[in-house]
Amino acid sequence: MYKRFMPREFVDSVYDVTPEKLHALGIRGIITDLDNTLVEWDRADATPELMAWLKLIRDSGIQVVIVSNNKEARVKHFAAPLDLPYIFQARKPLTNAFQRGLQLMNLPSHQVLMLGDQMMTDMLGANALHLHTILVKPVAQSDGLVTKLNRRLERRVFNYLRKKGIETWREK
């Protein structure tokens, strides 16, 4: 039950995802969500800490692509200064944008990690293509409108996991 929404792993932030860990898993590329995964959904630019993390990851030979459901203006403004390829209005959990991300990196799905903060979009879509999946704790407590609805569904999954005694990072 709820398996389609489940990540392989829960982490507190992207900073727990290290090149060493990724190389050990055979990961060569990351498809990452933007809002509330890399930075707060209402923060326009990358933080110095995030830039340092991206450099570390990319210097280790791992490619990174942003796949976001947000609008072009938001995603471009964020990604272009970082020289990161990006896909906007991705319509996750539909799998088209994930497939385009794989094509951009020229990697098979088993060598790619999906990093995201939402089960209903990021994890569901990535699981459908059998990517490796890691769910990060949302950077901000607040969300945009559509995300608020997805969070209601997500809470049910977390309640189920808690009943089953499966450990996540979320206590409530």
Q: How far apart are CA 103 and CA 49, in angstroms?
A: 28
Closer to Mg ion at the Cβ: 37 or 111?
37
Binding positions for Mg ion, 13-42, rule CB under 5 A:
33, 35-37
| Residue 70 interacts with Mg ion (CB under 5 A): yes or no | no
Closer to Mg ion at the Cβ: 44 or 164?
44
Contacts with Mg ion: how many residues (CB under 5 A)? 5
Binding positions for Mg ion, 97-136, rule CB under 5 A:
117
Q: How far apart are CA 64 and CA 128, in angstroms?
A: 20
| Residue 154 interacts with Mg ion (CB under 5 A): yes or no | no
**Per the structure block, which two tokens stand in for 153?**
């569904």
Q: How far is the CB of 43 from Mg ion (least distance, A)?
A: 12
Closer to Mg ion at the Cβ: 142 or 159?
142
Q: How far is the CB of 162 from Mg ion (least distance, A)?
A: 22
Q: How far apart are CA 105 and CA 97, in angstroms?
A: 13
Q: Which residues bind Mg ion (CB under 5 A)?
A: 33, 35-37, 117
